Amino acid sequence: MKKLILTEEAVGKLERELDLLIGKRKEISEEIKKARGFGDLSENAEYHAAREAQSLNETEILKVKEMLESYELEDVSDYTEDQVRLGSEVEVLYIESGDQDDFTLVTKIEADPFEGKISNESPIGSAIIGRKAGDVVNIFTPGGSVSLKVVSVKN
């Protein structure tokens, strides 16, 4: 299995998420207790909904704990100051269309395309990591082949 690479910010985000999920246990437990009071459990929709919420919450807790137990902190010493790495603000030029795009390269935990944050595991993210301004890369995405030029890198 591929090692999960995280930044300190991503680890903090996961730790906060774990705290919230663990705190939610008591709330869900109270909902189950309350729903039990409504009578016959075989036909009690509130009870079944609360049990489903409990199951989903416990699954999320296990998933986050697993990530926190098996991650590796990104080692930025492998990169020079002008190379794309996690946390880099990158400007790229799509060669075919002439469109430009700005984004920050982050871990999959922090990725949010609507906020201009793309994952280092995405096709574009994985293709430009370690690249420098001026480099041209050909990327195979689900939508087809794309050529782009790294215009600038800010770390």
pLDDT at residue 150, rounded to an integer:
96
Sign for the CA dihedral angle at 127, 91, 118, 111 comes to positive
CATH of domain 79-154: 3.10.50.30
CATH node for 4-73: 1.10.287.180
Higher pLDDT residue, 143 or 124? 124
Alpha carbon distance 68, 59 (integer Å): 14
Per residue in 85-121, pLDDT (tens digit) is: 998 999 999 999 999 999 999 998 889 999 999 999 8
pLDDT in tens, 3-18: 788 888 888 989 999 9
* Structural domain boundaries in the chain: 4-73, 79-154
Mind spelling out the 3-state secondary structure of 15-37?
HHHHHHHHHHHHHHHHHHHHHHC
Domains 4-73 and 79-154 share a fold: no
What residues are paired with 91 via a beta bridge? 102, 152
pLDDT at 79 over 80: no
Q: Give the pLDDT confidence of 21-52 residue by residue, as tens digits.
A: 999 999 999 998 888 887 777 777 888 899 99
- CB-based contacts of 58-67 (< 8 A; 24+ apart in sequence): 60/21, 61/18, 61/21, 61/22, 64/14, 64/17, 64/18, 64/21, 65/18, 67/4, 67/6, 67/14, 67/109
pLDDT at 5 (0 to 100)? 82
